[in-house]
Structure 1
């Protein structure tokens, strides 16, 4: 593989310690009682949109409240241990790297810059581009077309079903980042359980 399209939350950075409490606060605000473990699994298996739909909440309002609670959390998420070294090695071996995320691109760049990682990525595609949300492959197709990525040398890496499904739908390889071993039967071409293991994709 030469072209690496990364998800951000839960793949490059361990953001769930900030996201999950914020989601739970949104549910409490809307008088919804839900087990935290069930909500976490829903986030990992699907997305925040699925949480809103499950509890019959308006997704736009849910998202606005979620961002409010996230922004109130003064903790900054960290990249997964070993991720910086993996990004550097991919670049050193001629790999090209991109991000496709539901997080706003400016905030993604800010977090990357805090740890000196912004220089590893040629482009970040966030929701402000108004592409269809994952698992729709529209954003991947945009990157593939713009950078003339050979599909047999391109991989989508993410920690959720939607990342894998988006890669599959775009006709590129998919890699499930399974650091927690929480989900089963994910239809990915590759499964990697650590940042270091992702380096094996350079040989695929």
Structure 2
């Protein structure tokens, strides 16, 4: 945790085009959240460091004790706290665990192939959509 606090926050960078996608989604009046299994405070610092605060309504992750231990529970918390409908909510992730968590929480899911997971890993868990490039993300989201 301390090592991440020293290096992990400032070592983050956005994929090219992501800031524009977030701005477009924000302008479309979509409510955006970060749901991560990284410590909630560290994740918030990364969002702040990258200058993305205006795009996100909230950052959800485990607290210092590691609770909750499942990403699906975090997604369910977002749904409940913000009165969101499962079928109108999309979990976007680059790993199979993200897609499984979204499905477990009853949301739609989009796998993105430019992150840490492979295309095959994502296809194996059958997300509702797969996005192969940042430039496709808006149209894939809007189809959901």
TM-score category by the smaller chain? 0.7 to 0.9
Corresponding position of 2:138: 199
* TM-score (normalised: structure 2): 0.83
* Paired position in structure 1 for 2:70: 133
Flag the 1:115–1:73 CA change in 2: closer, same or farther, 3 A: closer
Among candidates 111, 125, 134, match of residue 46 of structure 2: 111
Report matched runs for 1:179-190 at 5 Å. Answer: 179=114, 182-184=118-120, 185-190=124-129
Q: Distance in 2 between matches of 1:202 and 1:68?
A: 39
Query: Is the aligned partner of 1:176 residue 2:111?
Result: yes
Deviation at 1:106, TM superposition (A): 2.1
SS at match of 1:174: strand
Contact 2:5 / 2:42 at 8 angstroms: preserved in 1? no
Is the radius of gyration larger for structure 1 or structure 2? 1
Preserved contact between residue 90 and residue 107 of structure 2 (Cα < 8 Å): yes
Q: Aligned-pair distance for 1:72?
A: 5.5
Measured after TM superposition, the shift of residue 127 of structure 1 is 1.0
Q: TM-score when scaled to structure 1?
A: 0.60
> What are the within-5 Å matches in structure 2 for residues 1-204 of structure 1?
67-71=1-5, 73=7, 76-128=11-63, 130-134=67-71, 137-179=72-114, 182-184=118-120, 185-200=124-139, 201-204=141-144
Stretches of 4+ moved more than 6 A in 1?
A: none
Relative to structure 1, the CA distance from residue 144 to residue 71 in structure 2 (aligned partners, 3 Å threshold; closer, same or farther) is closer
Measured after TM superposition, the shift of residue 186 of structure 1 is: 3.1
Structure 1 gaps of 5+ residues are: 1-66
Q: Is the 8 A contact 1:165 1:187 kept in 2?
A: no
After superposition, give the CA deviation of every residue in 1:48-76 in whole Å (9 maximum; x if it has no partner). Answer: xxxxxxxxxxxxxxxxxxx3554564861
RMSD: 2.1
Higher relative contact order (CA 8 A, sep 6+): 1
